[in-house]
């Protein structure tokens, strides 16, 4: 009788060659890279959208206040300021601000002998950026003399991490000149406020940036510009 040969364990058991293992590792690495790239891109898009929401919320709140107060601006009846029209300001170099006489903001200012002067201005911050600040000052008669009544006006910060701020106005289509809008000229037709800002996350990255090139790259990628225009009802 012919003996039956049985296959050895070595031939019966399946296995992977070194080439097959290397191919599997390569495919896994490629898939991991693709997944990481997709995740990284989605994360960047989410962070960008979150930054836009943050800057838009800040700008919208500031613009709503700016529009409400400037639309209600009044003329002064007090001699030292009565020739000053609603608006005066400057948008030149580091000096960027706009001031106007506002309607009474509290019970103290119901006195016709007082004027409430509201100022929106760009103020330098410690991180190398700027802030949009709002200051209320009062001037009026005290002891028969017209003087400043606010001992130490406080500037309220409306928007932080401002990269740049521009205030402009138009009169017959002419852009605001660099000097102040003085009292013996006609009020502008409109006042525009443009602010370019970044979100807090980008501001943190700027604080730890190694050099100017890194800072500029962050500003270029994260800056968002918002614009508001207020038409004045007393353009004359």
> Torsions phi, psi of 231, nearest 5?
-85, 130
| Cα(100)–Cα(87) distance, integer angstroms | 5
For the whole model, what pTM was predicted?
Answer: 0.72
**Does 83 reside within a domain?**
yes
Kindly state the DSSP code that residue 52 receives in the 8-state scheme: H
Tally of CB atoms within 10 A around 75: 14
**Does 204 reside within a domain?**
yes
At 138 the pLDDT is: 81
pLDDT in tens, 103-147: 655 545 556 667 788 889 999 988 889 999 999 888 777 777 777
pLDDT in tens, 13-72: 567 788 888 888 889 989 888 888 888 777 777 777 787 888 889 999 999 999 988 887
Residues written for the chain: 236
At 20 the pLDDT is: 83
**Does 209 reside within a domain?**
yes
**Does 6 reside within a domain?**
no
**Does 138 reside within a domain?**
yes
Domain that holds residue 119: 51-231
**Does 151 reside within a domain?**
yes
Question: What percent of the chain has a predicted confidence (pLDDT) above 70?
Answer: 69
**Does 199 reside within a domain?**
yes
Number of domains present in the structure of the chain: 1
């Amino acid at each position: 009788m012919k003996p039956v040969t049985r296959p050895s364990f070595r031939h019966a058991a399946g296995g992977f060659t070194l080439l097959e293992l290397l191919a599997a590792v390569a495919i896994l690495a490629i898939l991991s890279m693709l997944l990481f790239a997709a995740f990284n891109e989605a994360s960047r898009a989410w962070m960008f959208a979150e930054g836009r929401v943050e800057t838009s919320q800040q700008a919208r709140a500031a613009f709503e206040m700016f529009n409400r107060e400037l639309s209600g601006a009044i003329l002064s009846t007090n001699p030292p300021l009565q020739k000053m029209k609603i608006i005066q300001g400057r948008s030149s170099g580091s000096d960027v601000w706009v001031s106007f006489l506002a309607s009474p903001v509290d019970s103290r200012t119901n006195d016709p002998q007082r004027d409430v002067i509201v100022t929106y201005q760009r103020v330098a911050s410690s991180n190398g950026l700027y802030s949009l600040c709002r200051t209320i000052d009062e001037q009026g008669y005290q002891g028969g003399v017209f003087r400043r009544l606010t001992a130490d006006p406080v500037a309220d910060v409306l928007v932080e991490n401002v990269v740049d701020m521009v205030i402009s106005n138009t009169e017959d289509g002419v852009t605001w000149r660099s000097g102040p809008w003085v009292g013996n000229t006609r009020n502008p037709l409109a006042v525009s406020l443009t602010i370019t800002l970044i979100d807090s996350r980008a501001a943190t990255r700027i604080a730890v940036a190694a050099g100017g090139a890194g800072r500029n790259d962050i500003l270029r990628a994260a800056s968002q510009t918002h614009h508001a225009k207020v038409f004045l009802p007393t353009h004359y």
